[in-house]
A = this chain, B = another copy of it.
């Protein structure tokens, strides 16, 4: 009962104060999901308020999805919904950001390069060249696998001509890749292994596909191969979804040795690796070698997904997929069933953009810009948060994943809300876990959309907020 105790402040109605307090207890798992809340009379007595105040309180909790009433039995806490409703709160925030409502915010939720650096005029020239060259074909022509020219460029520029162009399928970004692979390969109750934490968009797809989701923790050293094999032994895993470079959100990259171990296990335990190579263009640390699972794959175990939207331009919606021969037809059919094909003009424009060498030029430019920003970010994180958080040094990419140290009594959902009040946006860890509760101590900071000055200001603000919750010792 003690945990229900709180002091009332002047000016806040008591039922509001009590319900906020209980919500916090539920969010922090101090009241467990499904735990019975005290009977109205008992709690009223304990807090020295009227019964009607508690009736009010419980009504608020029910309305906000924090509690359910079971007739004749009492009121019960509901945690799952609170995370669900937080997801909604978070995604509404992101929607507002993307529609330009939060222009004055310091936004650490950005996940792709800032479009300010994009040479829009050269892309325009390329578009016009395509339309002059191909006429109406550029807008109407549809090939099942995608524009052959683009597939040829991809094989040449990114795979040294070693991938057959008929093994490449053009898709509308990585999210679609995950979706069509799931439809082609994963049936209800099939087991999918994901990194914990992982990209929430992938989790959603697997959940919607009603897969049985198993998780392998990604720690500061990456995943543990022995644990990995233990999971394989116990579960009939069909696919392992992984981001091999700058894993989202942890920032971890797999060593070549670990990749080879996992490929070997894929053979032994007969599963497939869905490799989401979303940001490997941005390796700043020269010690990180670029070798994808796909490039090391000898037994056709890897379904490789590459998004151009992520590194290039979010609005362009193009990526590609290289499936094992075995799944080629089913994945291709899955694409047709999903949206027939990807915008033809955009494919042709991207092709010409790559062929002309403009792609490489742009990526080189991004590398220069972001490696500097990355170092600055590391510096200010160390400067302002050194005693408050711990973090992995990713060596590339566009974000840091940060753990709030135990001596601070604030979770990432609370921090998100407090920071938002101060015009700073962060990504709470909870959205990267199947069971959100596991992400309560983590948050992600994407630095691509912010200039140095605001990075420093933002991190300072976050530092101050966390400091307020230091547990006295």
Contacts and interface: CB of A to CB of B under 8 A. Distances in A.
A98 B143 contact: yes
B175 A172 contact: no
Given A315-B139, A339-B172, A99 B144 contact: yes
Contact of A210 (B124, B143, B148, B188): B188
Q: Give the most central of A135, A314, A315: most B CB within 10 Å.
A: A315
Given A140-B118, A204-B337, A315 B173 contact: no
A183 interface: yes
Contacts of A118: 136, 139-140
Contact of A338 (B115, B137, B176, B346): B176
A342 interface: yes
Interface in A180-226: 183, 188, 201, 204-205, 208, 210
A339 B339 CA distance: 10
A471 B281 CA distance: 68
A12 interface: no
A205 B336 CA distance: 10
A317 interface: yes
Contact of A142 (B315, B339, B342): B315
A201 B341 CA distance: 13
A111 to B, nearest CB: 11
A116 B342 CA distance: 21
Contacts of A201: 336-337, 340
A131 B140 contact: no
Interface string A307-339: 001000111110000000000000001101111
A316 B346 CA distance: 9
A139 B201 CA distance: 22
A87 to B, nearest CB: 10
A95 B144 contact: yes
Contact of A315 (B124, B127, B148, B345): B345
A188 to B, nearest CB: 6
A179 B140 contact: no
Contacts of A408: none
Given A131-B120, A142-B98, A143-B99, A338 B175 contact: yes
Contact of A136 (B120, B141, B173, B336): B120
B136 A131 contact: no
Contacts of A124: 128, 131
A139 B337 contact: no
Contacts of A144: 95, 98-99
B141 A315 contact: yes
Contact of A343 (B99, B316, B336, B341): B316
A369 B120 CA distance: 38
A98 B172 CA distance: 19
A381 B337 CA distance: 32
Contacts of A91: 333
Interface string A383-417: 00000000000000000000000000000000000
A344 interface: yes
A123 interface: yes
B317 A140 contact: no
Interface string A132-165: 0001111111111000100000000000000000
Contacts of A317: 339-344
A144 to B, nearest CB: 5
Contacts of A148: 99
A148 B143 CA distance: 30
13 contacts: A98-B144, A120-B135, A124-B128, A140-B315, A142-B315, A172-B172, A172-B343, A183-B208, A201-B340, A204-B337, A315-B343, A317-B340, A345-B346
Given A118-B139, A123-B131, A343-B346, 13 more contacts: A98-B141, A115-B140, A118-B140, A127-B131, A139-B316, A140-B313, A141-B315, A142-B315, A172-B339, A176-B338, A183-B208, A188-B188, A188-B210
